[in-house]
């Protein structure tokens, strides 16, 4: 285990560890009670940088690249929610961390819930951000990516020239004050690892484990009552087009004692679109 070259400054340093013979990458910042940040589909730990740095003065923040995502290995194997949750448990064991607040975005929300179901004694609090795992409704784009031929389309989407254009377009939009630039930059960051065939295969395995052409295949509705007594925060964007805000209402209804916060004029990436408000909300929960 040791640090590796990171494309960010040392305040969000990248580290590498071997888990069951496979390379796992995680970013780490700060010191104090631990917080784990789990990214979503076609995302990576880099999406959490501003959140990690906001919390680092009082917390140890761990943001892993899920296996098959970011810079972690892309082995032929199990990419189910349970497998991802077990990998996070194994990473925390290597780091000597017994309990942590678990924060999950989109697919990461499903992983976070699965982590709690499998390892409740290791879960301090739970934060679900535009979380998957509830009913069929999901973006048509993700549904279509489960069809045959998706691998060839991903190869085209991850072409270096296209990624460079997305980055430049995102920079220009953000400079002009448009929050759409956040999305273009996030897409470019997410697609970069998919230049490698193994990463594209891992992405499709992960996607097809939770989504098919009819929508989400995994539903947590029959187990959400188990979260009674677990401090749970539900965060959503009012204009989320990937997983609609209606799911936030259902989560809040089915998780006893949970708290729901909906950001107005915000889409699927609340932590990037509303970083100050999101970070303040998370700090408030952690300080309770």
Q: Give residues with Cβ within 8 angstroms of 253, minimum separation 6.
A: none
Contact between 101 and 33 under an 8 Å Cβ cutoff? The reply is yes
Would you please indicate which residues are annotated as catalytic (active-site) residues? 106, 240, 268
- Work out the burial of residue 51: count CB atoms within 10 Å of its CB; fewer than 13 is exposed, 13-18 middle, 19 or more buried: buried
Q: Give residues with Cβ within 8 angstroms of 148, minimum separation 6.
A: none
Q: Is 106 left (phi over 0), alpha (psi -120 to 50) or beta?
A: left
Q: Which residues pair with 123 in a beta bridge?
A: 100
Query: Can you give the three-state secondary structure of the chain, one letter per residue?
Result: CEECCCCCCHHHEEEEEEECCEEEEEEEECCCCEEEEECCCCCCHHHHHHHHHHHCCCCEEEEECCCCCCCCCCCCCCCCHHHHHHHHHHHHHHHCCCCEEEEEECHHHHHHHHHHHHCHHHEEEEEEECCCCCCCCCCHHHHHCCCCCHHHHHHHHCCHHHHHHHHHHHHHHHHCCCCHHHHHHHHHHHHHHHHCHHHHHHHHHHHHHHEECCEECCCCCCCHHHHCCCCEEEEEECCCCCCCCHHHHHHHHHCCCCEEEEECCCCCCHHHHCHHHHHHHHHHHHHC
């Amino acid at each position: 285990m040791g640090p590796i070259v990171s494309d960010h400054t040392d305040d969000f340093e990248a580290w590498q560890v071997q888990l069951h013979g496979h390379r796992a990458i995680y970013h780490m910042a700060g010191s104090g009670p631990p917080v784990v940040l789990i990214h979503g589909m076609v995302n990576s730990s880099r999406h959490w940088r501003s959140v990690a740095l906001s919390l680092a003065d009082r917390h140890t923040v761990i943001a892993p690249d899920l296996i098959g995502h970011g810079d972690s290995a892309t082995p032929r194997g199990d990419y189910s929610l349970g497998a991802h949750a077990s990998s996070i448990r194994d990473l925390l064991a290597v780091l000597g961390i017994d309990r942590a607040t678990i924060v999950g975005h989109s697919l990461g929300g499903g992983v976070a819930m699965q982590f709690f179901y499998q390892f409740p004694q290791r879960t301090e609090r739970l934060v679900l951000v535009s979380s998957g795992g509830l009913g069929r409704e999901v973006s048509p784009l993700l549904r279509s990516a489960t069809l045959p031929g998706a691998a060839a389309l991903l190869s085209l989407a991850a072409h270096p020239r296209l990624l460079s254009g997305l980055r430049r377009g995102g920079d220009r939009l953000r400079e002009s004050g448009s929050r759409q630039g956040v999305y273009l930059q996030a897409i470019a960051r997410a697609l970069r690892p998919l230049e490698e065939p193994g990463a594209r295969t891992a992405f499709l395995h992960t996607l097809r484990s939770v989504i098919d052409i009819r929508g989400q295949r995994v539903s947590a509705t029959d187990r959400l009552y188990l979260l009674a007594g677990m401090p749970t925060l539900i965060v959503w964007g009012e204009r989320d087009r990937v997983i609609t805000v209606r799911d936030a209402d259902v989560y809040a209804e089915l998780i006893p004692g949970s708290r729901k916060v909906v950001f107005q004029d915000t889409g699927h990436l609340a932590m990037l679109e509303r970083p100050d408000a999101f970070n303040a909300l998370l700090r408030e929960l952690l300080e309770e």
